[in-house]
Chains A and B, each alone.
Chain A
Amino acid sequence: MYQRYGALLSRRCLLLLRDKAQAEDAVQELLAVLLQRGEGLRVADSKWRWLARAADRTCIDLLRRGKHLRAAVDIDDLDPVGVAPGMDPEARCAAVESLQRLDDDQQALAIMLYIDGLSQGEAAVELGLSRVTINKRAQELANRVQPDRASPSSTTRTSKEARP
């Protein structure tokens, strides 16, 4: 399992924490949690999605505990793969940099919209909220993540958005 998912988990943790040592720590912590309570993983529809969310929580928790350790490392240096097609790299960068300033709900939504590239509809399904609520929260989030930029629809995918 770790052989298969370890590299992407490390990439994700590095992206969220922007600190190599902390990212390694997060992966270790996640692995320890999995060894203790990995039952959910076995029945998950997508193991990667399950692991990614578990990694998110681990990283967010580490962010809270280690504010002083967080150095402003350029995301391009940390993630040579870059963003997936259809996503805005600047928005992702802004979201990662603002993660610490967001509350829990906003952190989860920011990761889904700006880092995972989910549409608002997909985020609504995953969070169990209505599209209207997600749309409202996404707008608030956009104001916090990128106050100098336009509405979230310009930086995150919507289900209707068409790409060439």
Chain B
Amino acid sequence: MTHPSSLDLEAFAVGEPLPAHLVSHVEECSACGAFLEQLGAVVSAGPSAKEADAAVARALARLTAAEPERAAAPRSFVDPLETPEEQHETKEPRKPRETREPNAPAASSAGTRGARDPRRKLWLVGSSVVAPLAAAAAILLLTRSPDPGRASDRANDGPGASTTFKVQMGTLPPGVAPGLGVATGAAEPDTQFKGGMQVAVVRDRAGAQARFSSTVRVRPGDRLRVEVALDHEQAILGAVLADDGSYLELMPQAVRGPGTHFSERSAKIDAAPTRGTILIGSPEAVARARDTKNFEGVTTLRVDPEAP
């Protein structure tokens, strides 16, 4: 008989099913049983819920800290299934810049080493030609009249670019909430928000839509949909938690990229609306907020019934 692979036994030790043809072997084989016992001990000595939360928090902090660096890197950086070569390309630390000997006088080194070092010579020649050309090109670009058709394109160039648009309070820009029956017009620009997560709720009342960013007042028959703008990719979950404890997930847990996202589901207000809170944040934070009713760490929007 053939023993299962270490990988299969490890999967079994963490509770995954074994392939059918190996089950009887594992039940009978003392060596496999002993190995599984040892693995079981390792698994049971694993991180506690608190430690797991801390590890996730550290990983999130790491993501946040790495964000500016990641923004400049190709997208393949974060693909767990990327080839090692791709990872190597993007994660290879930058080579330190070549530096001059600390005690060498600047003037003499420029004169003597410049003549000796062919790379330096090339740099001197290149800079004397390229720099004026670059300056001339810059002046040309600056003095040229702006092309209105391309201005918006330029605004969206680059990972750090952001677009600001004004939204009249209480009304919804056309085509912004596809799930709420608003006609979708021209393609939206690829917008990236800066400054973390921005949350709003879109209320649909008999076809009339309004957008709120703090408290939304509702009456029976209204529908609510959540709008979340992210400036970087992150795992989020959106839900509405009524004051009586009922809970409805509007935006299932998923990793979402930068840009604007609308909740997949909408909440319909029934005949007897209750007060509640819309919670948006990481799945762990939302779960914690739901359990403890402490809304620290999540973004909230208040839902209040309109006075009759």
Q: Which residues does A use to contact B, with CB under 8 Å? A: 2-8, 10-11, 27-40, 46-49, 52-54, 57, 60-61, 64-65, 80-87, 104, 107, 115-119, 122, 157, 159, 161-163
Q: Which residues of B contact A87 (CB under 8 A)?
A: 6
A2 touching B31 by the CB < 8 A rule?
no
CA distance A54 to B11 in the complex (A): 15
Tell whether A8 pairs with B59 under 8 Å between CB atoms, given A3-B47, A61-B88, A65-B93.
no
B255 touching A38 by the CB < 8 A rule?
yes
List which B227-255 residues lie within 8 A (CB) of chain A. 233-235, 254-255
B56 touching A83 by the CB < 8 A rule?
no
Q: Which residues of A contact B49 (CB under 8 A)?
A: 3
CA distance A49 to B35 in the complex (A): 18
Can you offer 5 A-B residue contacts whose CB atoms are under 8 A?
Answer: A2-B56, A28-B62, A34-B80, A64-B84, A65-B93
SS class of chain A's interface: helix, strand, loop or mixed? helix
Additional A-B contact list (19), CB under 8 Å, known A57-B82, A85-B32, A159-B2 = A4-B14, A6-B52, A7-B45, A8-B10, A30-B80, A31-B56, A31-B58, A32-B59, A32-B63, A35-B234, A36-B234, A38-B80, A39-B254, A52-B7, A61-B84, A81-B38, A84-B3, A85-B29, A115-B6
| Beta-carbon nearest neighbor of A80 in chain B | B38
List which B90-148 residues lie within 8 A (CB) of chain A. 91-93
List which B18-50 residues lie within 8 A (CB) of chain A. 29, 31-32, 35, 38-39, 42-43, 45-49
B15 touching A116 by the CB < 8 A rule?
no
Tell whether A162 pairs with B2 under 8 Å between CB atoms, given A8-B13, A32-B62.
yes
Tell whether A54 pairs with B35 under 8 Å between CB atoms, given A119-B5, A122-B5.
no
Number of A-B contacts (CB under 8 A): 160
Closest approach, in angstroms, between the C-beta of A30 and any C-beta of chain B?
8
B39 touching A2 by the CB < 8 A rule?
no
Within 8 Å of chain A (Cβ to Cβ): is B83? yes
B91 touching A36 by the CB < 8 A rule?
no
B78 touching A36 by the CB < 8 A rule?
yes
Partner of B2, one of A8, A37, A157: A157
Q: Which residues of A contact B46 (CB under 8 A)?
A: 3-4, 6-8, 10
Q: Which residues of B contact A49 (CB under 8 A)?
A: 7, 11
Q: Which residues of B contact A52 (CB under 8 A)?
A: 7, 10
Q: Which residues does B use to contact A, with CB under 8 Å? A: 1-7, 9-11, 13-16, 29, 31-32, 35, 38-39, 42-43, 45-49, 51-52, 55-56, 58-60, 62-63, 66, 78-85, 87-88, 91-93, 233-235, 254-255
Partner of A2, one of B55, B62, B81: B55
Most B CB contacts (10 A, CB to CB) among A8, A28, A49 go to A8
B63 touching A48 by the CB < 8 A rule?
no
| Beta-carbon nearest neighbor of A48 in chain B | B11
Partner of A61, one of B1, B55, B60, B91: B91
A46 touching B84 by the CB < 8 A rule?
no
B15 touching A4 by the CB < 8 A rule?
yes
Closest approach, in angstroms, between the C-beta of A41 and any C-beta of chain B?
8
A40 touching B92 by the CB < 8 A rule?
no
Q: Which residues of B contact A34 (CB under 8 A)?
A: 59, 80
| Beta-carbon nearest neighbor of B13 in chain A | A8
**Minimum-distance CB pairs A-B, first 3:** A7-B46, A84-B6, A85-B31
Q: Which residues of A contact B52 (CB under 8 A)?
A: 2-3, 6
A117 touching B6 by the CB < 8 A rule?
yes
Q: Which residues of A contact B3 (CB under 8 A)?
A: 84-86, 117, 157, 163
B2 touching A104 by the CB < 8 A rule?
no
Closest approach, in angstroms, between the C-beta of B50 and any C-beta of chain A?
10
